[in-house]
Structure 1
Amino acid sequence: MEVSVHGKNVEGAIRAFRKKTQKDGVVKESRQRNNGFEKPSRREKRKREESIIRRRKVRKGETVF
């Protein structure tokens, strides 16, 4: 992942980096891996909930007025 710094705006670059990592799910995945074992039933529930959220986001973008 790459973020360019324009001038001396390091704070802006850090903000952009955080936003990109959050959007890609890097931090969330890292935390899940560090917590160790996840029960299969919990994993299925989490995947189902993530799927629902993704579908809602797609549907929200398809709204035509």
Structure 2
Amino acid sequence: MAIIRWIVIEAFMETILYWSGRGVLKLFSFGGYPKRGKRAKSHCMVVGAFALVLSFAVLFYF
């Protein structure tokens, strides 16, 4: 059960948070950021989480 939970969490983090954060960063930096690297991956995930929370807040507010 723990392996399945880890796979689901990893898939969520890798697909939803990373790629949405990468898109937001690319949009706001006009394609200049993020560069390759471990630090950029964590930045993408943090921005992705923030964008996801912000979009849900706006969606539920209106």
Q: Flag the structure with higher helix content.
A: 2
TM-score, normalising length from structure 1? 0.43
Structure number with higher relative contact order (C-alpha < 8 Å, ≥ 6 residues apart): 2
Tell me the TM-score normalized by structure 2. Answer: 0.45
